[in-house]
Structure 1
């Protein structure tokens, strides 16, 4: 029954979304220009690539960087194809039903894998919760000053993890199914406080990031993860449940 409800809701959301896209074509699309706020080059947590590497390296590849992330040493051999990747990327592949990214062959085992706990995996992820740098804070303030929509504000601080970017469909679903007039009034207050420096973006994030999702919110995010994180949808939801425990500044 629950699966049917989720399926029915997802189909309904999809139809509504399509009708919105078709019906609003004559209006200015305020969700076209979604530009990133977070800059991976500004990351202040793991400036040293060794921070996400491990000492369990393979002798004949210890001088080669992982071809996936280019940040850690190749150390894990994918079998049976024999391709080698870094330990973090191997852990990511092991958490989803994915094929070898190099030859698209089914992965049966990971040789020399150093398994990371959920906490360790999230700590080393580029999508962890962190305070924005000065440049990123200026990017955020600039976007607010230039008319960041309430839907994008809600998507970033209510539903998406640090450094994840909303897409047009997610914002349309928030507009149609989630956001209320009271939310808009409250978000206007938060935008003003962010611009004045009365509060920081990390305060907004920690106080509003939703860990408990209703059915509509779950389906909305499921559709978002389906498009961008297809093999890892369930893991994405698992991380959301305890994401606020991962605070690194």
Structure 2
């Protein structure tokens, strides 16, 4: 069992945070809660919530609603507008090709016995920067994975090790666009245990990620 992060909020906090008036005062030096790459630099008017510049640009291109309070955004303060080519180039959600060392490390982990549950967690549900924890693997083992999944995953592992298929192809083909209730519960619990930020934000990031993978 993995230890809970002492910084994690209680369940009540995570449910009520979006209604808390204090969330209007998110410090500028915190990472953007969507991409977790840029620091907060863009403020939404009139609500006062903040994101990084890339995510501010993304919202300004058509959504017009604050992702934190669902209020209408009338003005973006300190937004550095990105032209289309810069917007695509700077996307924190884009999928880069793994380096040779990263590929070799993945193959080594598979050779040493990466479980089917971990393989499924990594390629079906989690973003590349995320590691499954023991409780997530336990839930997949008992509630989600099937014998057919195991047979299919065994074939994918062999193809990856032989070089017949790339890690990028496996990821883009199998990252789930539609997830069932059991899978949502599994991911929700994982985010609650491992993410220092708020669960709903992580689910929103996943939507952005899907747009990159399935284009």
Q: TM-score, normalised by structure 1?
A: 0.53
Does the Cα contact within 8 Å between 1:122 and 1:246 map onto a contact in 2? no
Classify 1:223/1:205 alpha carbon distance in 2 versus 1 (closer, same or farther; 3 Å).
Answer: same
Unaligned runs of 5+ in 2: 3-27, 32-36, 45-49, 58-65, 70-75
Q: Distance in 2 between matches of 1:215 and 1:146?
A: 32
Aligned residues: 167
Change (3 A) 1:67 1:139: farther
Give 1:124's aligned residue.
Answer: 91
1:165 alignment counterpart: 131
Q: Deviations over 1:28-84 (max 9, x none)?
A: xxx9xxxxxxxxxxxxxxxxxxxxxxxxxxxxxxxxxx8556x86985589xxxxx9
In structure 2, the CA distance between the partners of 1:74 and 1:214, relative to structure 1 (3 Å rule), is closer
Determine which of 157, 175, 187 is the counterpart of 1:221: 187
Name the CA distance, whole Å, in 1 between partners of 2:150 and 2:38: 43
Deviation at 1:148, TM superposition (A): 0.8
TM-score by length of 2: 0.60
* Runs of 4+ displaced beyond 2 Å: 66-69, 71-78, 84-91, 94-97, 110-116, 120-125, 127-131, 227-245
| Pairwise CA distance, 1:241 | 3.7
Distance apart, 1:167 and its partner CA = 1.2
Give the match for residue 233 of structure 1.
199
Shift of 1:226: 1.7
Distance in 2 (alpha carbons) for counterparts of 1:68 and 1:222: 23
Long gaps (5+) in structure 1: 1-20, 22-30, 32-65, 79-83, 98-109
How far the C-alpha of 1:218 sits from its partner, in A, is 0.6
